[in-house]
Amino acid sequence: MKNENPHIARMAERTGVALFSQWNEFCELREFVLRRGDTDSIHDLRVASRRIRATIGLFAPFIAGKAVKRISKEFRRVTRELGRLRNIDEAIIYFEKLPEPLPVLNGQLSGERLQEMKAVTDVLKLFPRQEIDRTLRETVADLAGIPRDDQALPVHLSETSIQRYQAVHNLLLPATIPGNVETRHRLRIAVKKWRYLLETLGHVCRHDYSAALEILKEYQTLLGRLNDMVAFGELCGSLTLPLHERESITAALARDSAAYLARFVETATVRPPKYTFSL
């Protein structure tokens, strides 16, 4: 007689519910961006696109056919295009807050935003919503069909959780070294992946990961700010600016990079992430 486990069936069912909830949120935010194009909606849509990609990727071994690759490709295109626009929006906010006026930079950033907004609008209008909706429904059916006696799902979630934590753990100490910009970039991605996994598990397994998610959010914020300083520098480097503005920009980015790095090092020393997992 098969050793059936109703908990596995509930996990699969809740995964489908979570996936559809993420999909509905993405569709709603897509409409907001097309209608308004405001900074908050753009940021929220980018997060939604990353979150649904993370959920699909997590459960990829249990989804039939080429659905994972097809869906991920479409969402990745949206994430990538929104990322460029988001960097410009954040740069505008950051540089406008500096005490010294930067009229040439701000004017060029406004022009860059108009061009990038058009590119984002084109991508969102071409997004194959009906096809993705149909594929996601098939995906949910695949998940609902996981046998109650199949231990592959809990084993997969446990192993993936360990891998996500290990990636963060391995990168944490090297990321505190000032010159390791690329390592901090990789750590930021690893933190996001682990955070998205715990968020999904919280819905699927009904476990409270709020304490772990709070510290991961803190890490993500600090690492995101550090990454912004690099992105802003690259963005400004692609523009034609007067020397005095470029000097002001360089000084501001260096000052704030050092401050964010100090806060990150302190956080990594005092509050390192701890492993947590429960089904």
**pLDDT tens for each residue of 6-42:** 667 788 788 888 898 999 999 999 999 999 999 999 9
Task: Give 16's Cβ-side CA count (13 Å radius).
Answer: 19
Highest CATH level, class, for 1-150: mainly alpha
Rounded Cα distance between 205 and 10, Å, is 8
What distance separates the 2 farthest-apart alpha carbons in the chain? 78
The single residue listed with the structure tokens 């510290």 is: 215
Residue 2 confidence class, pLDDT cut points 50, 70, 90: low
Q: Which residue has the higher pLDDT, 204 or 226?
A: 226
55 touches 196 (CB < 8 A)? yes
Model confidence at 3: pLDDT above 70: no
Task: Name which of 191, 155, 194, 169 is nearest 279 in CA terms.
Answer: 155
Q: Which two tokens stand for residue 61?
A: 């071994």
How confident is the model at residue 195, as a pLDDT?
95
Q: Where are the alpha helices (DSSP H) in 60-151?
A: 67-96, 103-126, 129-144
Residue 63 confidence class, pLDDT cut points 50, 70, 90: confident
Q: Which two tokens stand for residue 178?
A: 């000032």
Q: What is the pLDDT of residues 215-240, one digit of tens each?
A: 999 999 999 999 999 999 999 999 99
Model confidence at 75: pLDDT above 50: yes
Q: Which two tokens stand for residue 34?
A: 């097309």
CATH tag for 151-279 (out of 1.10.3470, 1.10.600, 3.40.720, 1.20.120)? 1.20.120
Query: Rounded to two decimals, what is the model's pTM?
Result: 0.90
Q: Tell me how long the chain is.
A: 279
Rounded Cα distance between 75 and 116, Å, is 18
| CATH 1.20.120 segments of the chain | 1-150, 151-279
Q: Tell me the one-letter amino acid at 98.
A: L
Q: What is the pLDDT of residues 132-174, one digit of tens each?
A: 999 998 888 888 887 777 788 888 989 999 999 999 999 999 9
What does the mean pLDDT of the chain come to?
92
